[in-house]
Amino acid sequence: MAMAGNMITKLPITAAAYQELLAICERIYPYEACGLLACSDGGDTIDIVLPIQNVHEHPEDSFAFHPVEWTNTFFGMQKNRQQLAGFFHSHPHSHAQPSARDYAGFPPAQGMSCWIVSLQERDRPVIEPYRMQDGRFEPIPLVLA
């Protein structure tokens, strides 16, 4: 994970994790998928994708982590010496750009990454990573490792 101060400037993802992220979002379609992205044992490349059940009452255009699953997944990451690198969710019917609901629901985690997977064109999915900085989603480069 390349940093400038406390800001992420790039966050590589392995090809296997990239494909897993797409597969998870495709399986959940037409609903929003969501979950965590992690790096193994002190690494700086995302190589772990951890889906979490979406329990939002309108999963076709919103997401909310299942609270128990979210807690168990996070503690499991710590137990396995994995580092939280970011959050992901899909936009089944819109672009890979943060929505008003994304702004409202994103945790107040300065510098944390948020990856949005657009399945608007299912034969050409798009993944866009962002970081939260000063209350705004700032794009960061997608780097395959």
Looking at the domain assignment, is residue 3 inside a domain? Answer: no
CATH for 99: 3.40.140.10
Q: Is residue 69 in some structural domain?
A: yes
Could you tell me if residue 7 is inside a domain? no
Range 107-134 average pLDDT: 90
> Rounded to whole angstroms, how far apart are CA atoms 87 and 135?
16
User: What's the pLDDT score for residue 8?
Assistant: 62
Residue 36 has a pLDDT of 97
For residue 61, tell me if it sits in a domain: yes
Q: Quote the distance between the C-alpha of residue 112 and its chain's center.
A: 10
Total domain count for the chain?
A: 1
pLDDT of residue 132: 86
pLDDT tens per residue, range 60-81: 999 999 999 999 999 999 999 9
Residue 101 lies in a domain: yes
Q: Is residue 9 in some structural domain?
A: no
pLDDT at 87 over 90: yes
Q: Note the pLDDT of residue 104.
A: 81
The Cα-based distances of 122 to 2, 7, 58, 111, 142 in angstroms read 31, 32, 21, 30, 19
Within a domain: residue 2? no
Q: pLDDT tens, 16-50?
A: 999 999 999 999 999 999 999 999 988 899 999 99
For position 90, what pLDDT does the model report? Answer: 98
**Predicted TM-score (pTM) above 0.85:** yes
CA 70 and chain centroid, separation: 13
Cβ-contact 45, 39 below 8 angstroms: yes
pLDDT mean over 108-124? 89
Q: Would residue 46 count as lying in a domain? A: yes
Show the domain range for 50.
Answer: 15-139
